[in-house]
C-alpha cells in the first residue's frame, strides 16, 4: 500500500540527508576520518557548553555581584554580600527574624513539602505497585490509569484541581451533600499546603509506581515458590523477601523523588501562586520571583539562592550515584 | 462469565479479603485518577449559567428559559413541586420575599403566587459548544496552539538529530577523549536548568532570542538522557554493517543517516515521545523567556488566563481540555510503548 504521508516523510528524510551530505563528506576529506567523530559531537557540545557549563561559571559571577543589570560588565562586585543577606538571621527557626524572611519561609515550606510529599508518594506508589503486581485481569489498563496524570502538563493538573477545590466546587458540594462542613480549601493556609502535597502526589506517583513495578517484576518467581512451599505467611513473604529484594529500586525512587521535590514549582505556582500569603511558596518560586517576576530584578540574590539549592541537589545526586552503583553491583 | 473472569484468583478458589481490597483500591484508583479529568471535561460543556449552579450537576444541564407573551426578557422556567400548582411548569416573573410571582407560559394573562420552597429550576440538557468556539474567536487559541506546536515539533526534530549524532560518535568511533566527553555529557544529568536560570537567561539574552520560540528551543535540544538512551541502543548495532557500507565508499554521514539512524528507530521513538512530552508541558523556562502574549505557549496562556479575573471559567475549562487532548490521544495510542520506555530507561 502506498501511503502518501509515508512517502512525504521519506522524501523529507532523503532531502535532509542530501542537504548535509555534501558539506559533511567535504569536511570528512578535509579533517580525515579520524577526527570526524568530533564533528558529530559538535552540535551537542556547543549547546551543552552554552546552556549548561558556561552558566555554572556565570552563576558564581552573578552571585557575587549586585544591581539589577543583566549584563555582567555593568554589575559591581559585592563579594559574599548576597549570600550574607540570604543567610542573615537572628534566629534560624524564626523566619520573621531573618533579613530575607521569604527565603527562609520558602526553605521551611520546601523542607516540609519534601518530607511529606516524598514520604507519602513512595508509600502510595509502593502500595499501588504491589497491587498491580498481583495476578489481576486488565493489568495493562490499570497501569495506564495510574500513569495517565504523569503525562498531563503541570498547568493542566493545577487547573483541574483548582476547579474542583474552588469555593463552590464539586468537592464542597459533595461534602455538603453528606452533611459535612465546607472549606475554602485554597484560602486556608494549612489546607492549601495539604492540597499542594496531594496534587503533586496525584500528578507524579504513576511514574514511581511504574519503576517500582518493574523492580517487583524483576524478582524471580522461584523465590516466592520456595517460600510458599515452606508455608510462609503473606506478611513474612513481604517483609523477608519482597522488601529486601526491592530495596535497591526503592533507594533509586527515593533519591529521584527527593531531587524532583526540592525543585517543585510548576503545579504549585499555578494552583496557589505560593499563597495564601507565603504558605505554599517553595524555594524555586522564590528564585523565580526574586530574579524575574519582581522589580527590581535581583539577579545576584536569585543566583546565590540557586547555588544554595544546587548544593542540596549535588548531595542528593551523589547519594543517587552511590545508590545506583550499589544496585548495579548488587 | 464476567464475574468468574474478574474473580479469577491464583491457585486459590475463594475470592478472599485481599481480592476485595485489591478491587476496591483499583476502582478507587480509576475514580481518583480519571474522575477529576472527566469532571473538567464535562464542566467544559456547560454554559456559564450551569457553571455557576451550586451544587453542580454532572451532566451539562442548563436552567431552562422561555419567552412569554408580554415580557421582553426570557423568563426562567420552574417545576412546581408542591402546593396548589403541583406538577405544572411555570415561568417566574419576579421573586418577592418568600414568594415568587409566576405565570403559565400557555396562559400568560394570569399571575400565580408560589412559595419559593415549592419550585425547582427546570433544567434541560444543553451542550455549550460556545465555550470552545469562543476560544477561536476571542482567545487567540490558534496562535498559542501554533506556538506550542512549533516549539514541540522543531525542538524534537533538532533534539533527535543532535543527540543521535553525538550518540553515533560515542558508540561507533574510538578516539582520544571519548570517555571524557561521555562522562561530561552524563554529568549534565546532575545539573538541572533550575539551578542556572539567571545565567541561562543572560546567554539567551545575548543571543537575542528572548521573546522568541528559539529562546525556548535552543537551551533544551541537547539532552543527556537522549544521548545516553541512543548510545546504549547504537552499541547493539553490529559494526560489520557499517564497514560494509564504507567498503562501498559511503561517507560517514551516509553511514550515520542511512544505516545507523533507521536501525536505531525504536530508541529514537522513545526519545521522540519524551521530547514531545517535555516540550509540550514545559512551563518555568517559557515563563521566563516569553513575556509577550503573542509568543505564549498554551501552558503560558492557560496560566495567564487563570490569573486574570476577567476570564470566565467556561473558556478556561475548554482551553484546559484542548490542551490535555493531544497528550491524552498520544497516550491512548502509545500507552504500552510509553510505559515500557519509561520502565526501561527510568527517566521522565
**pLDDT tens per residue, range B308-330:** 766 678 888 999 999 899 888 88
Q: How far is CA A326 from CA A252, A322, B179, B205, in A?
A: 10, 6, 22, 43
- A163 grid coordinates: 476547579
In this complex, the residue of B33, B165, B254 whose CB is nearest that of residue A40 is B165
Residue with cell 469555593: A167
| pTM confidence score | 0.85
Distance CA B45, CA B63 (A): 14
In this structure, chain A runs to a length of 330
Q: Three-state SS for A322? A: helix
- What was the pLDDT predicted at B298? 92
pLDDT of residue B157: 94
Q: Which residues contact B83 (CB under 8 A, 6 or more apart)?
A: B114, B115, B118
- The pLDDT tens digits of the residues spanning B202-256 come to 999 999 999 999 999 999 999 888 998 899 889 989 999 888 888 888 888 889 9
pLDDT in tens, A175-210: 988 988 888 899 999 999 999 999 999 999 999 999
A112 touches chain B (CB under 8 A): no
pLDDT score recorded for residue A248? 84
pLDDT of B139 > 90? The answer is no
pLDDT at B210: 92
What does the pLDDT read at residue B84? 76
Which of A101-105, B91-95, B148-152, B179-183 comes out lowest in average pLDDT?
A: B91-95
Summary mean pLDDT of chain A: 88
pLDDT at A230: 85
Q: Is the pLDDT of residue B194 over 90?
A: no
Determine, for residues B26 and A131 on separate chains, whether the beta-carbon distance falls below 8 Å.
yes
B218 in contact with chain A, both atoms CB, cutoff 8 A: yes
Q: By mean pLDDT, which of A73-87, A257-271, A288-302 is the weakest? A: A73-87
Q: Which three cell numbers stand for residue B6?
A: 474478574
B-chain residues within 8 Å CB-CB of A163? 39-40, 43, 313, 317
How is chain A split into domains, by residue range?
A: 82-329
**Cβ separation A202–B55 shorter than 8 A:** no
Among A residues 81-100, those touching chain B with beta carbons less than 8 Å apart: none
| Range scoring the smallest mean pLDDT among A287-296, B88-97, B318-327 | B88-97
Q: Which of B31, B41, B199, B345 to mutate to test the interface with A (most CBs of A within 10 A)?
A: B199
Q: Using CB atoms within 10 A of its CB, is residue B70 exposed (0-12), middle (13-18) or buried (19+)?
A: exposed
Q: B49 or B147: whose pLDDT is higher?
A: B147
ipTM metric: 0.87
Burial class (CB in 10 A: 0-12, 13-18, 19+), B121: middle
**Per-residue pLDDT at A21:** 83
Judge contact between B200 and A51, C-beta under 8 A: yes
Instruction: Determine whether the interchain pair A137/B201 forms a contact, defined as Cβ–Cβ distance below 8 Å.
Output: no
Q: Look at A277 and B312; give whichever has higher pLDDT.
A: A277
pLDDT (mean) for A32-37 = 83
DSSP conformational letter for B241: H
* DSSP at B258: I
* Pairing outcome for strands B75-80 and B89-96: antiparallel
Task: Give the CATH class of A82-329.
Answer: mainly alpha
User: Across the interface, which of B30, B280, B346 has its CB nearest the CB of A145?
Assistant: B30
Q: Grid coordinates 521551611 are at which residue?
A: A108
Higher pLDDT among residues A114 and B104, named by residue: A114
pLDDT digits (tens, 9 = 90+) for A145-177: 898 999 899 999 999 999 999 888 889 888 988
What is the rounded CA–CA span in Å between residue B44 and residue B63?
16
Q: How far apart are CA B108 and CA B106, in angstroms?
A: 6
Q: Is the pLDDT of residue B289 over 90?
A: yes
The pLDDT value recorded for residue A80 is: 84
Are B168 and B234 contacting, i.e. CB atoms less than 8 angstroms apart? yes
Q: Does A113 touch chain B (CB under 8 A)?
A: no
pLDDT(B7) > 70:
no
Q: Would you state the cell numbers that stand for residue B149, as one nine-digit string? A: 506546536
Given a contact cutoff of 8 angstroms between Cβ atoms, the answer to whether B99 and B113 are in contact is yes
- A residues 287-316 lying closer than 8 A (beta carbon) to B: 287-288, 291-292, 299, 302-303, 306-307, 309-310, 313-314
Instruction: Give the SS3 label for residue A67.
Output: coil
Interface test with B, best of A37, A110, A139 (most B CBs within 10 A): A37
pLDDT of the residue at B1 = 47
Average pLDDT over residues A229-248: 86
Cβ burial, residue B258 (10 Å; 0-12/13-18/19+): middle
Option in A36, A70, A145 nearest B202 (CB): A70
- CA torsion A133→A136→A137→A140, rounded to 10°? -20
Buried b (16+ CB within 10 A) or exposed e, A223-254: eeeebeeeeeeeeebeeebbeeebebbbbbbb
pLDDT recorded at residue A113:
96
C-alpha pair distances (Å), B25 with each of A127, A131, B150:
10, 8, 41
Residue B348 has pLDDT above 50, yes or no: yes
pLDDT of residue A71: 85
Q: How far A306 CA sits from the closest chain B CA (Å)?
A: 5
Give the chain A residue whose CA is nearest to the CA of B43.
A163
Instruction: Report the percentage of chain A scoring pLDDT > 70.
Output: 98
Q: Residue A93 corresponds to which cell in the numbers above?
A: 527557626
Residue B250: helix, strand or coil by DSSP? coil
Residue A60 has pLDDT above 80, yes or no: yes
On whether any CB of chain A is under 8 Å from the CB of B3, the answer is no
Unique residue bearing C-alpha cell 402546593 = B83
B positions 173-212 inside 8 Å of A (CB): 173, 175, 178, 181, 184-185, 188, 190-203, 205
Query: d(Cα B181, Cα B167) in Å, to the nearest integer?
Result: 11
Region A58-65: mean pLDDT is 90
Asked if pLDDT for residue A305 goes beyond 50, the answer is: yes
Amino acid at each position: 500500500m502506498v501511503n502518501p504521508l509515508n512517502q512525504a516523510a521519506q522524501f523529507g528524510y532523503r532531502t535532509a540527508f542530501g542537504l548535509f551530505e555534501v558539506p559533511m563528506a567535504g569536511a570528512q576529506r578535509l579533517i580525515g576520518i579520524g577526527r570526524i567523530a568530533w564533528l558529530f559531537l559538535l552540535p551537542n557540545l556547543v549547546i551543552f557548553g552554552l546552556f549548561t557549563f558556561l552558566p555554572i561559571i556565570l552563576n558564581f559571577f552573578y552571585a557575587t555581584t549586585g544591581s539589577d543589570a543583566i549584563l555582567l560588565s555593568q554589575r559591581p562586585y559585592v563579594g559574599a554580600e548576597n549570600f550574607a543577606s540570604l543567610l542573615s538571621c537572628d534566629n534560624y527557626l524564626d523566619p520573621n527574624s531573618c533579613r530575607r524572611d521569604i527565603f527562609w519561609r520558602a526553605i521551611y515550606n520546601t523542607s516540609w513539602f519534601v518530607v511529606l510529599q516524598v514520604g507519602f508518594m513512595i508509600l502510595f506508589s509502593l502500595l499501588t505497585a504491589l497491587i498491580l503486581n498481583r495476578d489481576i485481569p486488565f493489568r495493562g489498563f490499570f497501569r495506564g490509569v495510574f500513569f495517565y496524570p504523569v503525562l498531563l502538563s503541570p498547568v493542566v493538573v493545577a487547573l483541574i484541581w483548582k476547579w474542583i477545590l474552588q469555593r463552590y466546587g464539586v468537592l464542597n458540594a459533595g461534602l455538603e451533600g453528606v452533611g459535612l462542613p465546607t472549606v475554602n480549601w485554597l484560602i486556608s493556609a494549612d489546607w492549601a499546603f495539604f492540597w499542594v502535597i496531594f496534587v503533586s502526589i496525584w500528578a507524579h506517583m504513576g511514574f514511581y509506581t511504574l519503576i517500582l513495578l518493574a523492580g517487583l517484576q524483576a524478582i524471580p518467581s522461584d523465590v516466592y515458590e520456595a517460600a510458599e512451599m515452606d508455608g510462609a505467611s503473606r506478611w513474612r513473604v513481604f517483609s523477608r523477601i519482597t522488601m529486601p529484594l526491592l530495596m535497591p529500586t526503592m533507594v533509586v525512587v527515593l533519591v529521584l523523588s527527593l531531587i524532583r521535590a526540592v525543585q517543585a514549582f510548576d503545579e504549585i505556582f499555578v494552583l496557589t501562586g505560593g499563597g495564601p500569603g507565603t504558605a505554599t511558596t517553595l524555594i524555586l518560586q522564590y528564585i523565580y520571583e526574586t530574579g524575574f517576576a519582581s522589580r527590581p530584578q535581583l539577579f545576584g540574590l536569585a543566583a546565590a539562592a540557586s547555588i544554595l539549592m544546587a548544593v542540596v541537589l549535588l548531595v542528593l545526586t551523589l547519594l543517587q550515584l552511590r545508590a545506583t552503583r550499589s544496585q548495579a553491583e548488587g | 462469565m464476567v464475574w468468574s473472569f474478574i474473580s479469577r484468583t491464583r491457585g486459590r478458589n475463594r475470592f478472599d479479603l485481599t481480592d476485595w481490597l485489591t478491587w476496591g483500591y483499583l476502582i478507587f484508583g480509576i475514580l481518583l485518577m480519571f474522575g477529576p479529568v472527566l469532571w473538567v471535561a464535562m464542566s467544559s460543556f456547560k454554559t456559564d449559567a450551569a457553571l455557576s449552579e451550586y451544587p453542580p450537576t454532572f451532566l451539562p444541564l442548563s436552567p431552562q428559559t422561555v419567552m412569554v407573551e408580554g415580557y421582553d426578557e426570557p423568563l426562567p422556567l420552574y417545576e412546581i413541586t408542591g402546593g396548589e400548582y403541583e406538577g405544572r411548569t411555570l415561568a417566574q416573573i419576579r421573586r418577592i420575599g418568600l414568594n415568587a410571582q409566576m405565570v403559565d407560559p400557555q396562559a400568560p394573562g394570569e399571575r400565580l403566587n408560589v412559595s419559593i420552597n415549592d419550585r425547582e429550576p427546570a433544567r434541560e440538557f444543553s451542550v455549550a459548544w460556545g465555550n470552545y468556539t469562543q476560544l477561536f474567536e476571542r482567545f487567540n487559541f490558534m496562535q498559542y496552539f501554533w506556538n506550542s506546536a512549533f516549539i514541540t515539533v522543531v525542538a524534537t526534530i533538532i533534539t533527535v538529530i543532535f543527540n543521535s549524532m553525538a550518540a553515533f560518535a560515542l558508540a561507533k568511533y574510538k578516539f582520544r577523549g571519548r570517555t571524557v566527553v561521555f562522562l561530561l555529557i552524563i554529568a549534565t544529568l546532575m545539573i538541572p536548568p533550575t539551578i542556572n536560570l539567571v545565567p541561562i537567561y543572560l546567554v539567551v539574552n545575548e543571543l537575542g532570542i528572548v521573546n522568541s520560540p528559539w529562546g525556548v528551543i535552543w537551551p533544551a535540544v541537547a539532552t543527556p538522557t537522549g544521548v545516553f538512551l541512543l548510545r546504549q541502543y547504537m552499541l547493539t548495532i553490529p559494526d560489520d554493517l557499517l564497514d560494509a557500507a564504507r567498503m562501498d565508499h559511503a561517507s560517514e554521514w551516509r553511514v550515520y543517516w542511512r544505516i545507523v539512524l533507521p536501525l536505531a528507530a525504536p530508541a529514537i521513538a522513545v526519545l521522540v515521545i519524551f521530547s514531545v512530552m517535555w516540550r509540550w508541558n514545559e512551563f518555568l523556562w517559557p515563563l521566563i523567556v516569553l513575556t509577550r502574549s503573542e509568543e505564549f505557549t498554551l501552558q503560558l496562556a492557560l496560566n495567564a488566563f487563570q490569573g486574570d479575573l476577567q476570564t470566565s471559567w467556561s473558556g478556561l475549562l475548554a482551553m484546559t481540555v484542548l490542551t490535555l487532548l493531544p497528550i491524552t490521544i498520544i497516550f491512548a495510542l502509545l500507552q504500552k510503548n510509553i510505559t515500557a520506555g519509561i520502565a526501561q530507561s527510568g527517566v521522565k
